[in-house]
Amino acid sequence: METGIKIIEGSCKGCVNCIKSCPTEALRVVDGKVRILSDLCIDCGECLRSCREKALALDEDDWDLIRSHGPATLMADPTFCAQFSHYWTPGLVRKALASLGIKDLFDETARAFDLAAFATARQIEEASKESLPLISIYCPAVVRLIQVRFPELLHRLVETETPLETGTLLWRKETGSDEGVILVTPCSAKVMLVRGPVGREKSTMGHVVSVKRLARDLLAAGPKVDGAALDPVGSRWLAWALRGGESRHIKAFSKKNITTMAVSGLRNTIDLLQDLELGRLKGVDFVECRVCDLGCIGGIGNAESRFLSELRLSRQPIEWVATEREKADLADLYETGIWKLEQPIQPRPRPSLADTLDEAMKKLKTMQAVYAELPHIDCGACGRPSCRALAEDVVRGEGEITDCVFKLRERISVLGEEITALSGKLPHAFHERKHAK
Amino acid sequence: MDSHYEVEFTVRGDDFLAAGEASNQIKETLIMLGVPSAISRRASVITYEAEMNLVIHSGGGTLRAVITPEKLTIQATDRGPGIPDLHLAMREGFSTAPDRVREMGFGAGMGLPNIKRNSDNLEIESEVGKGTTLTATILFHEGPGDRR
C-alpha cells in the first residue's frame, strides 16, 4: 500500500525522533533508515514535523516538470487562498495565477463545496436518531484513522465524496475535457486523494503538488494584480480551511437546527473518536475532525503561518445564504448523485498476531513474556517506538530481543563472565610447565 | 482444548483521570487476537461501563477479561457497598451517583442497562456491605478462530 509520505534515504540519519511522533506506531528504524509500515500509516504528517533532517517529505509530483509540459489546470485546496497577503480573495488569486498562465477551477470548486454541504445536510436530516452523529470524511487522515483504529465507527462516515474530487468531476462533465488536473494539497493526507483514494477506484486528478511549492512560485513571480473588475467567486468554500468551516456550511444549508462538534489536532481527534465510540456524544448530529492544528491551514504542506492564515480567513466576507439560483442548481446536482462516494469505505484493521484464535493467544502470551523482560523505558534505540512494539515485532518474527541495547548488554555481560570463568580453567599440563620454569 | 487468555486490571476508586484505561487495554488485546470488531465493540462498552461503576461506586476493585475459543467473559469484582435493589439498579436512568460525579458527565443511570444490552449473559451477585461481582459473557457464535 502507498502512503502520502516520501522517505529521502540520503538525509535520514537513523535517529528515532519520528517514530515517537507517530500516533499509530507505523514507523520503524531498520539498518539505520526509517521505514513506514503502510498498513498502519494514516498519512497525518506528524513525522514530517518531527524530522530535523528533512528526510521525510510530502510525496508530491515535480511541479517544474509539469510546468514544462505546458499549461496547467489547478484544483486548489481552500487553504491556497489563505497563503498570500497581496492576493487575499479568490478573485485576486485567480488573476495572479492567470498572469503566470495557470488556470484555476475556483467556480467548480465553490459549487462542489456547496454541493457537499447540501448533500451532507440531507444525510443528517434523513438519518435515524441512533445513527447520529455522522462523521465528516473531509480529512483523509481521519478516515484512515477510523479505518485502522475505530472500524466500529465506519458506518457513521457521511457518503459524501470530497468536494475536491467532485469539483474536478463537475468541470469534466461541463467541459468534456480530459486534460490533466493538478491537486494543490496542504498536507500528506490529501496527497492520497490522488495516489490512493478511499471510497473510489481512481481519482480523476492526475497529479498532486503542495500548496507550499506553488505558493513559492507565485510569490517569487510576484505579479502585480489590481483589484478592479474581479470575477465574483463564491467564498463559502474557503471556510473549510479552518476548523468548524464545514459544520458552519452544513448548518447554513440545513432545514433543521442541527448540533455540530468540530475539533482539530490529532490528540483531540483521537479523544473525540474515543468518546464517540463509547456512546458519549448523545445529542450531537455531526462531527468534524481535522488532524492538523486549527484545521487544514495547519497542514504541513502550507507556506504561510497558520495563525496568519486564520486571521486572513476571518476577514473574508462570506455570504452564507445561497441565492435562489444557487439553491435550484444544488437541488439539480444533488439529484444526479455526482457528490456520492463510489464505494463503501472498508475497515483496515491491523493484522492479528495469528490466523487462529488459539495460535494468537499463544503468541500473545509469548509477547507478554518478552515484554516483561524489556526495560519499559521506551527509549527507541531498537528502532521501535516502544518496548511493547518491540515485543510485538519479536513475536511477529520481525525482530530479535537483542535489538534492545539493554538486553544485548546483559547478554554480553553474561558472556563476559563465562569467558573470565573459562580463562581461569587452564589445562593441568600447562600449570605444571609453568612451575617447571 | 482448554486454552485461554486472561488479563486483569486493578481499578482505583474515584480516579476519573485513569478511567477507561483498563477497557482500552482489553480492546487492544482483543484486536491483537483477531476478535471480530463487532464483538470487540460490545466488549468495549461492557468493560468501560463496568470500569466506570468500579470508579464511581465501589471505591475500587478488579476488572478481569478471560478469553477462550468459545467466549469472552468480563468480570468486575469489588468490596464496595453492594446493590440493595438489583431490579431497580437495572432500570434505565436509575442512578445513585453523587452530584459531583454527575457534574462530570457520568452516572446517568445507563451503565448496567448498557452492559445488559451488550452481553449474551449477565450475572450480578451483590451483598449490601460486602461487595459486588458482575460477570458478563459474550459468545463467539461463529468462533473467531474460523474467521479466515
Provide mean pLDDT across the span A398-416.
92
Of residues A208 and B27, more confidently modeled = A208
* pLDDT of the residue at A274: 87
What are the pLDDT digits (tens) for A176-224? 998 999 999 999 999 999 999 999 999 999 999 999 999 999 999 888 8
List the single residue in B with minimal CA-CA distance to A154.
B37
What are the pLDDT digits (tens) for A126-163? 999 889 999 999 999 999 999 998 888 999 999 999 99
Confidence band, pLDDT 50/70/90 cuts, at residue A430:
low
The ranges assigned to domains in chain B are 5-146
Question: Residue A351 domain-assigned?
Answer: no
Helix (H) or strand (E) holding A143: helix A140-149
Check whether residue A303 and residue A220 sit in a common domain.
yes
Check whether residue A12 and residue A106 sit in a common domain.
no
* pLDDT of the residue at A130: 85
Q: Is the pLDDT of residue B143 over 70?
A: no
Rg (CA), chain B: 15
Gap from A57 CA to chain B (nearest CA, Å) = 31
Check whether residue A67 and residue A22 sit in a common domain.
no
Given A336, A368, A387, the domain boundary residue is A336
What are the pLDDT digits (tens) for A27-41? 999 989 999 999 899
Gap from A354 CA to chain B (nearest CA, Å) = 7
Gap from B129 CA to chain A (nearest CA, Å) = 30
Tell me what the pLDDT averaged over chain B comes to: 83
Closest partner residue to B41 (CB to CB) among A152, A367, A392 is A152
Query: Do A358 and B145 lie within an 8 Å CB cutoff?
Result: yes
Check whether residue A117 and residue A262 sit in a common domain.
yes
Provide mean pLDDT across the span B47-56.
88
Check whether residue A138 and residue A97 sit in a common domain.
yes
Specify the CATH number for the domain of residue A32: 3.30.70.20
Closest partner residue to B145 (CB to CB) among A278, A357, A392 is A357
* pLDDT of the residue at A127: 93
Check whether residue A44 and residue A76 sit in a common domain.
no
Domain that holds residue A12: 5-58
Q: Does B41 touch chain A (CB under 8 A)?
A: yes
Separation CA A122–CA A250 (nearest Å): 9
Given A275, A307, A336, the domain boundary residue is A336
Check whether residue A147 and residue A294 sit in a common domain.
yes
* pLDDT of the residue at A275: 86
Residue from B28, B32, B92 to probe the interface with A (highest A Cβ count within 10 Å): B32
Query: Do A358 and B144 lie within an 8 Å CB cutoff?
Result: no
Check whether residue A322 and residue A402 sit in a common domain.
no
* pLDDT of the residue at B148: 33
Question: Under CATH, domain B5-146 is a member of which superfamily?
Answer: Histidine kinase-like ATPase, C-terminal domain (3.30.565.10)
Nearest to A87 by CA among A319, A304, A306, A318: A304
3-state secondary structure chain B: CCCCEEEEEEEECCCCCCCCHHHHHHHHHHHHCCCCHHHHHHHHHHHHHHHHHHHHHHCEEEEEEEECCCEEEEEEEECCCCCCCHHHHCCCCCCCCCHHHHHCCCCCCCHHHHHHHHCCEEEEEEECCCEEEEEEEEECCCCHHHCC
Chain A: which residues have CB within 8 Å of chain B? 151-152, 274, 277-280, 347, 349-350, 352-358, 360-362, 364-365, 367, 392
Q: Is the pLDDT of residue B145 over 90?
A: no
Separation CA A358–CA A356 (nearest Å): 5
List the single residue in A with minimal CA-CA distance to B32.
A352
Query: Do A353 and B33 lie within an 8 Å CB cutoff?
Result: yes
What are the pLDDT digits (tens) for B132-141? 999 999 998 7
* pLDDT of the residue at A98: 92
Q: Does B5 touch chain A (CB under 8 A)?
A: yes
Written as one letter, the residue type at A189 is A
* pLDDT of the residue at B105: 67
* pLDDT of the residue at A348: 87
Closest partner residue to B32 (CB to CB) among A279, A352, A358 is A352
Closest partner residue to B32 (CB to CB) among A277, A362, A364 is A364
**Residues of chain A neighbouring B45 (CB-CB closer than 8 A):** 278-279
Check whether residue A291 and residue A323 sit in a common domain.
yes
Confidence band, pLDDT 50/70/90 cuts, at residue B3:
confident
The domain tally of chain A equals 3
Q: Is the pLDDT of residue B146 over 50?
A: no
Confidence band, pLDDT 50/70/90 cuts, at residue A434:
low
* pLDDT of the residue at A234: 85
Tell me what the pLDDT averaged over chain A comes to: 92
What are the pLDDT digits (tens) for A309-357? 999 999 888 999 999 999 999 999 999 999 999 999 998 877 889 888 8
Interfacial B residues in 88-147 facing A (CB < 8 Å): 105, 114, 140, 143-146
Check whether residue A326 and residue A384 sit in a common domain.
no
Given A307, A336, A365, the domain boundary residue is A336
Residue from B5, B29, B71 to probe the interface with A (highest A Cβ count within 10 Å): B5
What are the pLDDT digits (tens) for A266-315? 999 999 998 888 777 888 999 999 999 999 999 999 999 999 999 999 98
Grid cell digits, residue A211: 500548496
Question: Residue A280 domain-assigned?
Answer: yes
Q: Is the pLDDT of residue B40 over 90?
A: no
* pLDDT of the residue at A435: 55
Closest partner residue to B33 (CB to CB) among A274, A347, A357 is A357
- Residue percentage of chain B with pLDDT more than 90: 18
